[in-house]
Amino acid sequence: MGNASSMLTQYDIEEVQEHCHKLFSLQEIVSLYQRFCQLDRNAKGFISADEFLSVPEFAMNPLSQRLLKMVDGLNFKDFVAFLSAFSAKASVQQKIQLIFKVYDSDGNGKVSFNDILEVLRDLSGSFISDNQREQVLTQLLKEAGYLRDSYLMLDDFIKKLKSNLCSTATTAHCLLQWQTLLEETCKRKRSFWIA
């Protein structure tokens, strides 16, 4: 199995496979373990936020700081469970649950107007002003039947994204669709571009 994977027993691999709901094959788990060992430079048994930032694709992601809160200190089993939402075999619901966690930055189980606004700020940068983002988001929520002071619970979040955005998408694609929806709304409603 190679140096990094030699510490994994068949039982360990099967246990991790069960933990991730069999979304990864045995060989994929061995490969993930090798990658985990590369990232865990000090062989502590967990990966720190700094070690995650050594992955260029992760460091360049506009949502990396939000994702870091979710991954800092993960052991191998939890590392695989986290990555399982990115698997092509993961259900739309599993992908949306990850997106919900990205939006729910304080971990209170609710996504507020400000939570969504912060994600949109991370995704769009200085492309549009805070005031424009607020106006667009207020309109989007109104069109979806929510008020500015409403909270989206996980079930609501799943229902809205499943029905409107994520029928066949990967997690990253769902996030891109959400951003695209914002941009399309901005284009449709040109008045939002005016401060």
Name the residue among 114, 93, 55 with its Cα closest to residue 171.
Answer: 93
**What's the pLDDT at 108?**
93
| Stretches in the chain below the pLDDT threshold 70 | 1-6, 162-195
Portions of the chain given CATH number 1.10.238.10: 4-84, 92-193
Among 3.30.1490.190, 3.10.20.90, 1.10.3720.10, 1.10.238.10, name the CATH number for the domain at 92-193.
Answer: 1.10.238.10
CA separation for the pair 158, 98 (Å, rounded): 10
CB 9 within 8 Å of CB 65: no
CB 136 within 8 Å of CB 130: no
**What's the pLDDT at 37?**
94
CA-to-CA dists, residue 41 to 4, 37, 102, 139, 154, angstroms = 12, 7, 26, 47, 36
Among 1.20.1260.10, 3.40.50.2000, 3.30.420.40, 1.10.238.10, name the CATH number for the domain at 4-84.
Answer: 1.10.238.10
**What's the pLDDT at 44?**
94
CA separation for the pair 117, 105 (Å, rounded): 11
